Structure 1
Amino acid sequence: MAQFPDTPNYTGFNTPSRIEADIANLQHTGEIPPELDGAFFRVQPDPQFPPRLGDDISFNGDGMITRFHFHDGQCDFRQRWAQTDKWKLENEAGKALFGAYRNPLTDDESVKGKIRGTANTNAWLYGGKLWALKEDSPALVMDPATMETVGYEKFGGKMTGETFTAHPKLDPDSGNMVAIGYAASGMHTDDVTYYEISPEGELVREEWFKVPYYCMMHDFAITPDYLVLHIVPSIGSWEQLEEGKPAFMFDTTKPVYLGIIPRREGLKNDDIRWFKRDNCFASHTMNAWQDGTKIHFVTPESKNNFFPFFPDIHGAPFNPQESVTHLTEWVVDLSSNGDEFAEINRLSDTFSEFPRIDDRFTGRKNRYTWGLEIDMARPLNLPGGSASGAPMNCLFLKDMETGKEQHWWAGETSTLQEPCFIPRSKDAPEGDGWIVMVCNRLAEHRSDLLVFDALDIEKGPVATINVPIRLRFGLHGNFARSQDIGLKVPEAA
C-alpha cells in the first residue's frame, strides 16, 4: 500500500495527486477570449511513490505536466506524467528507488549511475516540441499534442555536458533557444556549458566555461551579445551529502558574482567579466539588456536566503524578515577597469517573486513585468497548508516606465502559482494580451485557472476556469499557439 508521510509536504493541499486525465470543455465563469487559440503548459512535482527515505522536499517529486488548450472560447484539459528514466524504473519496480533530493548516495544499488532527473521544474515549448526540464539532467522531450514522452535529448550526441537548464531563453533576433548546464562535468563541479539550439532542433553551439564556485544556477538572462549569469551561494558538496545534509545550503560569507559571458564560438574563460558584490540571495531573473557599455540585470533580491529548506551552512536560523525579495536592478559597466558593480537599485517595495515578462522582449529593455506577491497585510487563512510553502496571495504588475503598480488579491483562503503572459497576436504591442495562472483554492482543495487582461489585472479575471481535480504546487509554465505545436480542435467539440 502506498503510504505517504504524515508531514506538511505530503498532506493537506500538498497531498500527492498522481492523476492523468483528459477533460473536454472545462466549466468556467466569465468569458474566455474567443481569439485565444493555443495551450498553456505547466508542471508540478508529484511523487509517483512514497519517498524512499521518508519525508522529502516538494522539489523532488516526479514531473506531472498539465495542458490547458484554449480554442473557440473554451478550455480543454490534459495531464500526463513526464516519463523520465527515473519514473520508468520506479514504475516497473512499483516503489521508489531513488533517494533524497539531489543525493545519489541515498539511491538503491539497482539504479546507481542512472539519470536522476524528474522533469518537474519547467514546461517549455520550442521547435514544435514540449521540453520537460529539470536542471540536474538533460532535457526530456515530449510530444505537445499527444503529451507522450519521447525521451532525453542529447542532440544526436553533440551535447557533451551532463545537464540542461530549467530556464532556457528564446532569442527574439536569431530565434535560437539559449541554455546553460551547470555542474556540466559532474555533480559539484564548477564547469558550465552554454548552448544554442536552432528552431529545427539542432545544437548549433556548445561552449564550456568555469564559474567562481559551484552553486545552484537556477536561472540566467541574455542580451543580444551576452549571457548574464549570477552566482549566489546556495552551495553544495559531496561532504554535505555524505553527512546527510541538504543538497544545497546557504553561505552568507561568500560574495555574489555577475558574469558577463560573450555569446560567441571559441569562448574562453578569459573572455568573461566577473563583477563582484556583497552577499545576498537572488534566484529567478526578470530580464537583462544592454545600454551602451552598461548591462542591466533585474532579479528579485533579498538580504538573506529565501529557501528555509536549504538552511544556513553555518547553523544560523532561517530569518523570515531578511528573506523578503524585491525587484532589484544590478548594473555593471564593461568600460570599467575593476570588478565593482556600477549601481544596485531597488525598483519596488513590493515583496514579489516569479517575475515574468512579455517574452518577445527577452534581452531588450521591457516596460512591463508581472509576478507573484506576498502581501502579509491582507487577511490570510491557509486551511490544509500553503500550496507553495510561501503564501503568494496576490498578482503583481509593474510598469517599469512610469513606476505604477497594480495588485490583485486572490482572497483569504487562496494562493497563486506563477503567471504566464500570452500576447494577443504575434505583432501586438508589449503587454497587449492576457495573463493566465493557476489559483489554489485551499479551503475547497481544488484549483482554478484564471485569465486576466494583462494590463488591467485589478479588475480581476475575465474568466475563471474550474479544474475538477486539485493541482499541486507548480513551478513554471509557458504558452504556445495551437498551430505551432500541432494542436487541433477535438472532433467531439
Structure 2
Amino acid sequence: MTTAPARPAPVDLAHHSHLTGVNAPQREEVDVADLRITGELPADLDGSYIRNGPNPRFDPIGSFVYPIDGDGMVHRLTIADGRAGYTNRFVRTPMVVAEEAAGHAIWSGITDGYTPSAEDVGERLAGTVRELPDINIVRHGGRLMAMAEADQPYLLNPKDLATLTKTDCDDAMRVGSTAHPKIDPVTGEMVLFNYTLEAPYLTWSVVGADGRTVRPPTPIAGLTEPVMIHDMALTQRYVVLFVCPLIFDLEAVMTGGSLLSWRPDDGTRIALIPRDGGAVRWITTEPFWVWHFANAFDSGPDVTVDYVEWTYPSGFTDQPRRAASTITRAVIHPDGQISRAVISDNAIDMEFPRVDDRLLTRDHRCIASVSKGPLDSGSQDSLWFHDINADREECWSPGVAIGEPIFMPGTEHDYWGAIGTDPADMRSYFYVLSADDPAAGPLATVDLPIRVPAGLHGAWLPNSG
C-alpha cells in the first residue's frame, strides 16, 4: 500500500526575505475612488497603470522561490482629469478558489514536487501544480491578460479586474506563453514564444491585432534540451531570443538536486527568427544571463538589442562572487559576428529596463531602469534614465523601495511612473515624473490606500486604447 506524501510544513515567513518587509504578501482587496495627491497630476494623462506580481493568497507551505511562486495580484491606478483611483484583485485560479474555501494553502511551492490528492481537492484538481499567472499584465485584441511563466494566461474583466477564465488566445498559446510577449505598435501583432520540458523545447506564435491567431505554435529548430528563457526582443524583421545556458536538469531533480543548472561552457546562443517564417539563424557568444530586454530594432543589415546583462543568474548557481549587471547593447552583424558594448555600469543590480512602448521594434533614445546605486551611495533604490544618443544618464533616488518604471504618454507631454514603498512605514505611493527632466523628482505623488508588495511587471493602458 502506497502512503500519500505528507503535506509540507509552512514556510518560515518571518525569516524569508521575499515574504517580509516591502515584499510581504498583501491580502486586502480594496476599491478607492479618490486618492490623496501631493503636487498636481498632469491634466493630459488619461489611462491606467496596471501591475501584476507574485502574492501568495495564504501563507505558503513547502518552499517559496521568488519570483517563481506566489499567486497573482493585480493592482490598477486610474488617472483622469487630474484625479486618481485604485483597485486591486487576486487572480483567482482554481487553486486560489480551492484554498479560499479551505482557509489555508493546499498547494506547495512549485519546486517541492508535492501535489494534493483527490481527498484534499477533488478529482479535477488532484495531482495538479499551482497555476501562476503572476508575472505580467498585457492588453491585446480586446483581452486583458494576467501572464504566467511558460503557461497560458488568465483573462480579467477590464472593468473590475475579476478573474474570468484561462485562455489559449485563439490557439496561439496552446502550449503556453512567455510572460513577456511583445506587441508591435506598427502592425498591432502580439508575438510570443514558449519553452517546454519536452521536444521541441521552444516554439513561437503570433496573434493578430484582432486577437486571432496569425501563426500557431511553431517549433524553433536547434535545441537538444530544455532551457529557461524569461523574456524576448522583437524587431520589424526578427523575433530575437537569447538562449543563455540555464538548463532544466530533470535527472538532478530525481536525485534531490536543483531543477536548473548553469552551464557556462555551453556559451549563450542567440536565435534570430525571421517573422516571415524563414530559417532560424543561430549565433554563439560567451556566456551571460538575461532576465529582461529593453528593446530591439533593425539597423540596416544589423540587429541591435538593448538589455540588462548579468554575469550569471545568481539565484540558480553557487558562484562565490556577486553577480554583476550592466545595461548592454549588442549589435548582431550579417556575418554572424556580435559586438557588445556597455551602456551603463554605474550602479548595482540594474534591472527592469523599459522604453516608450510606442517605439518597440524601432530605434529609441531613452531607457529607464531600476538599480541599487549609484555605486558610491550605498544600497539605495534609484530610477535611472539612460540617454543613449547623448551618452548621458541621470538618476532619481526617492528614499523608498522603487519598482519598475513605466512610460506614460500624455496628449501634450510625456511622463514616467513607478510604484514605491517606504520601508519605514510601509506606505506605498505612485510617482509621476516628467520625461523631460525625471531626475527633478515627481510632479505628483499619489498616496495608495494599501501597501503594494514590491515587484513585478506592469503596463500603461491609455483610455483611448
1:418 equivalent to 2:404? Answer yes
Helix, strand or coil at the partner of 1:253: helix
Q: Distance in 2 between matches of 1:260 and 1:379?
A: 40
Task: Give the structure 1 partner of residue 267 of structure 2.
Answer: 255
Task: Give the structure 1 partner of residue 156 of structure 2.
Answer: 142
Q: Which amino acid aligns with 2:317?
A: P
Following TM superposition, by how much is the alpha carbon of 1:64 offset from its aligned partner in structure 2, in angstroms? 0.2
1:446 equivalent to 2:427? Answer yes
Helix, strand or coil at the partner of 1:472: coil
- Deviation string, structure 1 residues 351-410 (Cα, Å, up to 9, x no partner): 321100011111111111111122154655xxxxxxxxxx56111111111111111112
| Preserved CA contact (<8 Å) 2:115 2:128 | no
Given candidates 190, 207, 230, the residue that maps to 1:177 is 190
Following TM superposition, by how much is the alpha carbon of 1:89 offset from its aligned partner in structure 2, in angstroms? 3.1
Helix, strand or coil at the partner of 2:439: helix
Given candidates 6, 9, 31, the residue that maps to 2:14 is 6
- Deviation string, structure 1 residues 303-339 (Cα, Å, up to 9, x no partner): 233x33x224xxx43x21xx221111112222x2xx5
Q: Which amino acid aligns with 2:134?
A: N
Q: CA 1:240/1:161 → structure 2, altered by over 3 Å: closer, same or farther?
A: farther
Following TM superposition, by how much is the alpha carbon of 1:28 offset from its aligned partner in structure 2, in angstroms? 1.4
Following TM superposition, by how much is the alpha carbon of 1:86 offset from its aligned partner in structure 2, in angstroms? 2.6
Task: Give the structure 2 partner of residue 387 of structure 1.
Answer: none
Given candidates 270, 273, 278, the residue that maps to 2:286 is 278
**Structure 1 segment 3-402 matched on structure 2, within 5 A:** 5-7=13-15, 8-102=17-111, 105-110=113-118, 111-112=125-126, 114=128, 116-156=130-170, 158-159=171-172, 161-183=174-196, 187=197, 189-206=199-216, 207-212=218-223, 213-265=225-277, 271-305=279-313, 307-308=314-315, 310-312=316-318, 316-317=319-320, 319-320=321-322, 323-334=323-334, 336=335, 339=336, 341-351=337-347, 352-375=350-373, 377=375, 393-402=381-390
Helix, strand or coil at the partner of 1:150: strand
| Preserved CA contact (<8 Å) 1:26 1:75 | yes
- Deviation string, structure 1 residues 5-24 (Cα, Å, up to 9, x no partner): 32223233332211111011
Q: Distance in 1 between matches of 2:184 and 2:157?
A: 23
| Preserved CA contact (<8 Å) 1:115 1:137 | no
Q: Distance in 2 between matches of 1:114 and 1:211?
A: 31
Helix, strand or coil at the partner of 1:295: strand
Q: Distance in 2 between matches of 1:419 and 1:92?
A: 36
Identical-pair percentage: 28
Q: Which amino acid aligns with 2:344?
A: S
Helix, strand or coil at the partner of 2:14: coil
| Preserved CA contact (<8 Å) 2:201 2:227 | no
Q: CA 1:278/1:56 → structure 2, altered by over 3 Å: closer, same or farther?
A: closer
Q: TM-score, normalised by structure 1?
A: 0.85
| Preserved CA contact (<8 Å) 2:149 2:230 | yes
- Deviation string, structure 1 residues 184-207 (Cα, Å, up to 9, x no partner): xxx365522211112322122122
Structure 2: state its 5+ residue gaps. Answer: 1-9, 119-124
Q: Which amino acid aligns with 2:190?
A: M
Following TM superposition, by how much is the alpha carbon of 1:415 offset from its aligned partner in structure 2, in angstroms? 1.8
Aligned residue-pair number: 445
Structure 1: state its 5+ residue gaps. Answer: 381-390, 485-493
Following TM superposition, by how much is the alpha carbon of 1:208 offset from its aligned partner in structure 2, in angstroms? 1.9
Helix, strand or coil at the partner of 1:210: coil
Following TM superposition, by how much is the alpha carbon of 1:219 offset from its aligned partner in structure 2, in angstroms? 0.5
Q: Which amino acid aligns with 1:254?
A: D
Q: Distance in 1 between matches of 2:94 and 2:380?
A: 33
Q: Which amino acid aligns with 2:292?
A: H
Task: Give the structure 1 partner of residue 6 of structure 2.
Answer: none
Q: CA 1:56/1:302 → structure 2, altered by over 3 Å: closer, same or farther?
A: closer
Task: Give the structure 2 partner of residue 461 of structure 1.
Answer: 442
